[in-house]
Amino acid sequence: MADDFTGATDLAASWVARGLRTAVTLGVPTPAELPALADLDAVVVALKTRTAPPAEAVARSLAALGVLRRLGCARFYDKYCSTFDSTPRGNIGPVADALMAELDTDLAVVVPSFPANGRTVYRGHLFVGDRLLSESSMRHHPLTPMTDSDLVRVLTPQTVNRVVPVPLPTVRQGPAALAGALRAAAAGGRCYAVVDAVDDDDLAVIAAATADHPLVTGGSGLALGLPAAGPPATAAMPVVPGRRAVLAGSASAATRGQIAAARGTLASRRLDVSALRADPAGEVAGIARWAADRWAAAPDEPVLVYAVGSLDDVETAPPPGQRPAAELVEEALAGCAVAFAAAGARQFLVAGGETSGSVVGALGVRRLELGPALAPGVSWAHGTAAGRSDGYNLALKSGNFGAPDIFTTCWKALS
C-alpha cells in the first residue's frame, strides 16, 4: 500500500528488479479487476493519501489491505516517502496504527532509508545526502515541511504506539541479533522500531530479520534488501506512439533543477496561479492551444508545463477566501493531461506524487505494468485505461528523484 502514485511505481520497480512479477493498481482494485492480479507475486495499490485528511487516509489504506488479503497476500508493506513526508497529525502514524491493529501485530519497523537516492538513517536521524532532513529543501515543502530529522520525535505525536530507535551497531551484528532486538522491543507492548540503515547491506539485514513480519513500513529502499527471487521480472513494455509532455507539479529542489536544465531545450510554460484563480478552464485551454501549436511545428518534441521554477513561485499562504495554489496546480495539470491526450499525447513524464495521482486519475488509468528504469526509483510504465485500446506510457517521478537531465533524456527509452 503506497501513499502516492510515484511511490507505488518506485516500490514496484524494486520488486521487479528482485524477480517478482508485480503490477500497480491505481486506487483500490474493484472485484472485476482482481482475477487479472491473482497470479502475480506482488501487487502495489497506489493510494493518493499522503496529504489526505487522516481519517480518509486510514479508510483507503484499510480498504486496500482488505483487497490484498482477498488476493491471498500474506505480507504487507506500508510505503511512504523516503523523506518521511508528514505532519504532526499524520498520515504515517495513523495509517500504520490502523494496519497494525487490523493485522494484530505488535511490531513494525520504520525504514525510510534509500541509500541509492541519498536517504539514510543514522542514530534515528534521517539524512538527505550529507545533510539532515531538517536542513534539506524538504524544510520548505509547501504541504509537509520537514523541520525535524529525529524520526522518533517526528513519529511519536502521530501514533498511539511506542516508538523506539534501533541503532546501526545492532544492525551490523546481523539478522539474528537484529531480530532479537526487535522481539525485545515488542515485549514492552505494541511499538514501531526506527531502524538505522546507511547502505544496501544494512537493508538486506533488516529484510532478513523481518522476513516473518506480517507488516513492514518504509520507503521503497527496504524492498531492495530482499533476496532476489530470480532475474528481473521485466516483460516487453508496449510503447505507445504519440505526442510527448512533461507535467511538473513538484516544488522540490530536484524538480526545480530539472526544469531549469530542460527550459533551454524544451518548449515550456509555467502555470499562472492568478490566471487559474480567475479562469481555470481558460488557462488550461490556452496551454492546450500553445502545446498544439508546438506539436504542429515539431511533432516529436516534448512540451513542458510546470508550476514552480524557483522558491519565489511557491505560495506561502493563499489570499483570504481563496483555494491553495497547490490544489489549483493539481487540477490544472490534470486538465492539461486530458487536453493533451485529446490532441494525441500518449507519453507523459509527471513530476510530483500529488500531481501524478491527479494526472493518472484524470486519464482514467487503472493499472501499470513496469518497463525500463530511468533512475533509482523512476521507471517507464504502460498504463491501461478504460475505453482505450492503446493506453499511455507514463513515468511517474517523485519530485526528489531523477538526474538533472531526465526531462530531456527519458524519451530515449521509448525510441
Percentage, residues of the chain above pLDDT 90: 79
Phi, psi of 79 (to 5 degrees): -95, 125
Q: How confident is the model at residue 131 (pLDDT cuts 50, 70, 90)?
A: very high
| 234 pLDDT higher than 80 | no
Convert the pLDDT of each residue in 259-299 to its tens digit: 999 999 999 999 999 999 999 999 999 999 999 999 999 99
Q: Is the pLDDT reported for residue 217 higher than 90? A: yes
d(CA 247, CA 135): 27
CATH no. for residue 192?
3.40.50.10840
How do beta strands 303-306 and 378-385 pair? unpaired
pLDDT at residue 29 tops 90? yes
Same domain, 185 and 271: no
Instruction: Assess if residue 295 is contained within a domain.
Output: yes
Whether 255 and 351 have beta carbons less than 8 Å apart is answered as yes
Residue 238 domain flag: no
Same domain, 207 and 282: no
In a domain, 392, yes or no: yes
In angstroms, the CA 49 to CA 81 distance is 11
- pLDDT at res. 160: 96
Decide if pLDDT at 143 tops 90: no
Residue 235 lies in a domain: no
Q: Is 44 helix (H, G, I), strand (E, B) or coil?
A: strand
For residue 227, the tally of other CB atoms under 10 A from its CB is: 10
Give a yes or no: residue 231 inside a domain: no
Residues 288 and 373 in one domain: yes
**Cα separations in angstroms, 342 against 58, 242, 285, 362:** 35, 11, 12, 12
Predicted local confidence at residue 197, as pLDDT: 98
CA dihedral 49, 55, 61, 66 (to 10 degrees): -160
Q: Whole-angstrom Cα distance, residue 349 to residue 320? A: 34
Whether residues 169 and 299 fall in one domain: no
Domain limit, last residue, from 225, 258, 289: 225
229-245 mean pLDDT: 88
Domain that holds residue 114: 5-225
Dihedral (Cα; 63, 68, 72, 75), 10-degree rounding: -110
Task: Please check whether residues 148 and 257 belong to one and the same domain.
Answer: no
Residue pair 22/41 in contact (Cβ under 8 Å)? The answer is yes
* Residues 279 and 209 reside in one and the same domain: no
pLDDT tens-digit map of 292-338? 999 999 999 999 999 998 878 877 778 888 898 989 999 999 999 99
User: Are 218 and 275 part of one and the same domain?
Assistant: no
Q: What is the pLDDT of residue 360?
A: 94
Check: CB of residue 277 under 8 Å from CB of residue 331.
Answer: no
Q: Is the pLDDT assigned to residue 17 strictly greater than 90?
A: no
CA distance 369 to 383: 7
Helices 92-103 and 54-70, packing angle to 10 deg: 40
Q: Which of 225, 259, 294 is the C-terminal boundary of a domain? A: 225
Cis bond leading into 91, ω under 30°?
yes
Q: Where are any strands of DSSP class E within 296-403?
A: 303-306, 345-351, 365-375, 378-385, 392-397
Q: Is 314 domain-assigned? A: yes
Weakest-pLDDT range from 18-27, 52-61, 256-265, 310-319: 310-319
Is residue 193 packed enough to be buried (19+ CB in 10 Å), middle (13-18) or exposed (0-12)? buried
Instruction: Name the phi and psi angles at 109, rounded to 5.
Output: -75, 155
In the predicted structure, residue 158 carries a pLDDT above the cut 90 = yes
Cα angle vertex 394, ends 338, 229, to 5°?
Answer: 150
Q: What is the CATH number of the domain that holds 382?
A: 3.40.980.20
Q: What is the pLDDT of residue 296?
A: 97
Kindly compute the dihedral angle of the four CA atoms of residues 149, 153, 158, 164, in this order, to the nearest 10 degrees: 110
Give the per-residue pLDDT at 364. 94
User: What is the pLDDT averaged over residues 236-258?
Assistant: 94
255 plus 215 within the same structural domain: no
Same domain, 331 and 363: yes
Strand spans (E) along 199-344? 215-218, 243-248, 267-270, 303-306
Number of independent structural domains in the chain: 2
Question: Quick check: is 288 in a domain?
Answer: yes
| pLDDT tens-digit series, residues 376-412 | 889 999 998 877 788 999 999 988 899 999 999 999 9
Same domain for 276 and 211, yes or no, is no
311 domain residue, yes or no: yes
Instruction: Give yes or no for a contact between 365 and 9, defined as CB atoms under 8 angstroms apart.
Output: no
The answer to whether residues 114 and 179 touch, using CB atoms and an 8 Å cutoff, is no
**Domain check: are 203 and 86 in the same one?**
yes
- Given this model, what pLDDT does residue 224 score? 84
Tell me: do 214 and 247 sit in the same domain: no
- DSSP, collapsed to helix, strand or coil, labels residue 82 as coil
> Contact 92/80 with Cβ under 8 angstroms?
yes
Amino acid at 240: V
pLDDT at 350 over 80: yes
| Domain final position from 198, 225, 252 | 225
pLDDT, tens digit, for every residue of 63-122? 999 999 999 999 999 999 999 999 999 999 999 999 999 999 999 999 999 998 899 999
Mean pLDDT over each residue of the chain, to the nearest integer? 94
**Is 25's pLDDT higher than 80?**
yes
